[in-house]
Structure 1
Amino acid sequence: MDLQFIGIDPDTGKNGSPTAWVDQETADIVIQSYTADEGTRAQCVVNTAPGHAKGIPHHETVIRIPVRLVPILREACDAAERAQL
């Protein structure tokens, strides 16, 4: 796996660092961010996508992306599309 670093939360200090990468082999976007709190996780279970089982599968998780990371995610989306070509 060859991850291309895209960016890090511009307001991050030395602790905590929401970050985005793109996997150059699969074009997947890889995110490091904050673990969602129980209230957020509960809302995700209640608001399950139509046609899907309720709950969060054991192989998935819910993360919270700070709005400051949105421009970096846009850049990651562009890089992922380029990697896929």
Structure 2
Amino acid sequence: MANDLIHDVFSGEPNLSTKERAISVVIGLGLAAAAAQPRPNKWLSLAALIGGSLLAIRGATGHCAAKALMEQRNDRLDYAA
């Protein structure tokens, strides 16, 4: 199951533009760096680290599973109409 999840995240055709990829990487790395600062709420730091990492991976791979699902759903709706 974990292998399928890793495959889904790191595979697929790139569906992000260069601008979207650059913004994702910059914001993701900034958020992850901000999470490295000591804070009283450790859960908030952990959430920022995870969110930043996911954004950076999204930008690095150029593939966004959520965007692919939305495009797939829109294609089905267009086909049904």
Q: TM-score if structure 1 supplies the norm length?
A: 0.29
Q: Which has the higher contact order (CA 8 A, sep 6+)?
A: 2
Q: Which protein is richer in strand relative to its size?
A: 1
TM-score (normalised: structure 2): 0.29
Q: Which has the larger radius of gyration?
A: 2
